[in-house]
Structure 1
């Protein structure tokens, strides 16, 4: 049985304006001026990559920079910069170069945003702090990579 790897690549030097929703993995090394949702697989913001908007995925790895909220339904690894609130359901790892400017919140999996219809996709990135559910947990659950590897 042949397995195909489905991944979208935004290469260095590329710039995309607008929101993106993909049903597979994505690696961004360029500029994305808009929100991004990956419904399955890995959402990777590589070194030199910049997302100016919300980033959401099952498994999220940030080696570049995100200027907006980050939602991770599974695992989250940050080795780059995030200027925005972080919402995660599973595990989180902060690397030695991680820089965070925002709040860190562990939430129930059902409280995460998911792309379900074209109407939902049109409103990507428009969720405001006042609209977030009041029952979100606010205590951090952070593991530093250096401690995890020791």
Structure 2
């Protein structure tokens, strides 16, 4: 059986303006001027990466910087800088380079983002995946972006 690894990569030197919602993992080493929601997999803000907005995901690892709130439904590891409030319901690990400027709050799992929650269910709710219109994706956003720029 073949398994596919779905991940969106925001490379160094790349800058994206606007919010992103993905149903797979994300690795950000560039600039994202907006919020990001990853409904499954690892949300990784790599060394040199910067998110200017809310970062929400199942498993979150921050080695770069986030200027906004961070929400983690599972494991959270911070080895970079966060300027905003942190909401987590699983485990949290602060590395030797962790820098936090905000509050740290453990929340119930039901208050965290879920693919089947509605936006008004709590402060961390995300849009329902079945409410999002558009064709089903079979390729990554990177592929579509490169086609659009060609």
TM over 0.5: yes
CA-to-aligned-CA distance 1:59-116 (integer Å, 9 cap, x gap)? 0000000000000000000000000000000000000000000000000011113455
The within-5 A match list for 1:100-139 is 100-114=100-114, 120=119, 132=123
Q: Which residue of the partner structure matches residue 143 of structure 1?
A: none
Instruction: Assess if the C-alpha contact under 8 Å between 1:21 and 1:115 holds in 2.
Output: no
Is 1:96 the counterpart of 2:99? The answer is no
Deviation of 1:53 (Å): 0.1
Aligned length: 123
**Mapping of residues 1-150 of structure 1, within 5 Å:** 1-114=1-114, 120=119, 132=123
1:139 aligned partner: none
CA–CA distance in 2 between the matches of 1:20 and 1:55? 10
TM-score after normalising by structure 1: 0.77
CA distance in 1, matches of 2:73, 2:24: 14
Q: In structure 1, how many angstroms separate the alpha carbons of the residues matched to 2:115 and 2:51? A: 18
Separation in 1 of the partners of 2:87 and 2:106? 6
- Runs of 5+ consecutive residues of structure 2 not aligned to the other structure: 125-150
Secondary structure, in 3 states, of the residue corresponding to 1:87?
Answer: strand
Q: CA RMSD in A?
A: 2.0
TM-score, normalisation: structure 2: 0.77
Q: Is there any run of 5+ residues in structure 1 with no aligned partner, and where?
A: 124-130, 134-150
